[in-house]
Structure 1
Amino acid sequence: MTEIVVNEELKAYIDPMTTDEYEALERSILAEGCRDALVLWGNILVDGHHRYSVCRKHDLPFQTIQNTRFQSMEDVHLWMIEQHLGRRSVSPFQRGVLALRKREILAKRRAQAQEVEEEVRVPAEPPAADAVEPATEAAASPVATAEPLPSREELAREARLSQNQVGLIEKIHKQATEEVVAAVKSGVLSINAAAAVASLPAEEQRAAAEAGEDELKNAAKRVRESRRRPRKESKEAEAVASVDALETVGEHAEPLSVDERQELLALREQVAELTAENEALRKQLADLQG
């Protein structure tokens, strides 16, 4: 049998099983044997790292198959992504991360294909007169074409997520610290909450994570409250401006009509309500921070 090589980068490319999941797999293999073949690329293990670990631990037999379609490590990554996107055991967050990885690989390939197209279109030197025939043959040879990138809608559909979820996961992927990513992977934070915390400076994210689960959730709540407050204050400012405008008109023009007076009173009431609501939100935020 070919000696199997475990590539650590490939092994870590997909999030490993939890301890409970690994133990459940171990019990299943001990009871029924290793039913699914391990997938190899040459002698490199591509799929079945946990099964391979269990079989070696207990000296159990297993089958292997070769995937002969792989031409590069990128092909291997794309195949792994597609395999795991369809598995129920993969969490929504991890499916989103895998979909984004797929887009990054395809974007890199698209850029490379475009470079090849540019090189073919613009030769370094004009062809010599006696090289017309070879040049014609080269132009007729197939050239890699740049395929269009999948849209966010297509990525979301493949990952079984909404477009909004993909956007939030992309934000977490780009802005969140390792501590926040670990919290969303473990289920401590929801995707929405993790995206809110990811908008904070890295130092604040780490401090919240070090303070524990409750502080992480409170940090997400504070971010959401701070986003709501400007909208309330904007409405209050618009109402105040309307009252000021009507009062100014009242000072320099004809006396206000009954309808205009009623509108002015209604606007004043709206300003009072919004002011009180803002004060309540400020007090709530102060209590949370205190």
Structure 2
Amino acid sequence: MNIIVKEELKAYIDPLTPDEHDALERSILAEGCRDALVLWGDVLVDGHNRYGICQKHGLPFQTIQHPHFKSMEDVHLWMIDQHLGRRSVSDFQRGVLALRKKEILTERRQRRMAESAEQLAAAPGEAGAAEPAADAPWEGAAELPPVPALNTREAVARAARLSASQVQQIEKIQKSAAPELVAAVRSGEVSLNTAATVAALPVEEQQAVVAAGKDEIKQAAKRVRQSKAKPKEAGEGGEEKLNSAGLPPVTAESATEAQIKALQARVAELETENAALRAQLAALQG
């Protein structure tokens, strides 16, 4: 059997974590590959991890054809729906998938409306000519069930089993978060709310905060929230004093214990360097 693995389909859904992949491999070695791989012609659509494990260990597997796919869009929508229904998918992943589905459906709707307009323009005034529904299936794909529109944030939230505010947070993360912050959300290290808040910082500061660890990420989110809740400090001439993140500068009142310790450590380092330089200067003078 000639099975084609397309990298774009393999990477379309977030990969399993190493622990999840190891657990799947142990299950297949103990019980065999129980679920059939889904194909579209020769193209592997679902079961990339199972296929790789079976190939690695020379284990048999079953395949089934999905008869209703008419385009790669249909494949993508099916893959998204499959993963939206799985309990192991995180809130962030479900939100990303639902937003991706919305994008596909929006593009499909716009394309069909453009095609319908072209048809009407080509045959003006033709009796009985009616504009097809924007969500009508492609010609020849009547077997596929209709796909509900996702034209509002609430509809996306229902598809992802999330709240509208969570979807809004995911949109902020996708738009403004540094790759390191996105990775922290995907791994479950930080919550959606915290990541969306920290995403308001410049990218360089996000990267520094993530590198400092989970506690510092939470502290950064706290500082951002406080800056929005309190009046901004006014400087000379009534101008606001803000740092590069658009936040008030750190003061003795707002500094965290970690920041104070870091500053104290830096002062100690500078004092040591100064002492060493003075010793070198004295040696040269002598």
The answer to whether the superposition gives a TM-score over 0.5 is: yes
2:13 corresponds in structure 1 to: 14
1:285 aligns with 2:254: yes
Deviation at 1:112, TM superposition (A): 0.5
Query: 5 Å matches for 1:83-162?
Result: 83-123=82-122, 136=126, 140=129, 144-147=132-135, 148-162=149-163
1:78 corresponds in structure 2 to: 77
- SS of 1:36's equivalent in the other structure is coil
- Structure 2 unaligned segments of length 5 or more: list them: 136-148, 234-249, 261-286
Query: 5 Å matches for 1:49-64?
Result: 49-64=48-63
Counterpart code for 2:88: S
Contact 2:54 2:61 in 1 (8 A): yes
Counterpart code for 2:215: D
2:203 corresponds in structure 1 to: 202
Contact 2:150 2:156 in 1 (8 A): no
1:171 aligns with 2:172: yes
- SS of 1:45's equivalent in the other structure is strand
Q: C-alpha distance in 1, partners of 2:83/2:59?
A: 25
- SS of 1:51's equivalent in the other structure is helix
Query: 5 Å matches for 1:219-258?
Result: 219-230=220-231
- SS of 1:200's equivalent in the other structure is coil
Counterpart code for 1:76: V
Give the 3 Å change call, closer, same or farther, for CA 77–144 of structure 1 in structure 2.
Answer: farther
Percent identity over paired residues: 62
- SS of 2:45's equivalent in the other structure is strand
Deviation at 1:205, TM superposition (A): 1.5
Give the 3 Å change call, closer, same or farther, for CA 47–144 of structure 1 in structure 2.
Answer: farther
Q: C-alpha distance in 1, partners of 2:200/2:106?
A: 26
Deviations 1:99-121 (A, max 9, x none): 00000001101111121122123
Contact 1:177 1:202 in 2 (8 A): yes
Deviation at 1:154, TM superposition (A): 2.1
Contact 1:225 1:285 in 2 (8 A): no
TM-score (norm 2): 0.74
Deviation at 1:153, TM superposition (A): 1.8
Structure with max Cα Rg: 1
Q: C-alpha distance in 1, partners of 2:119/2:79?
A: 33
RMSD: 2.3
Q: Which has the higher helix share?
A: 1
TM-score (norm 1): 0.73
Counterpart code for 2:157: A
Q: C-alpha distance in 2, partners of 1:118/1:282?
A: 61
Equivalenced residue count is 230
Contact 1:197 1:216 in 2 (8 A): yes
Deviation at 1:222, TM superposition (A): 1.3
Counterpart code for 2:255: A
Deviations 1:190-241 (A, max 9, x none): 100000111112222122223333332222121111111139x9xxxxxxxx
- Structure 1 unaligned segments of length 5 or more: list them: 128-134, 234-280
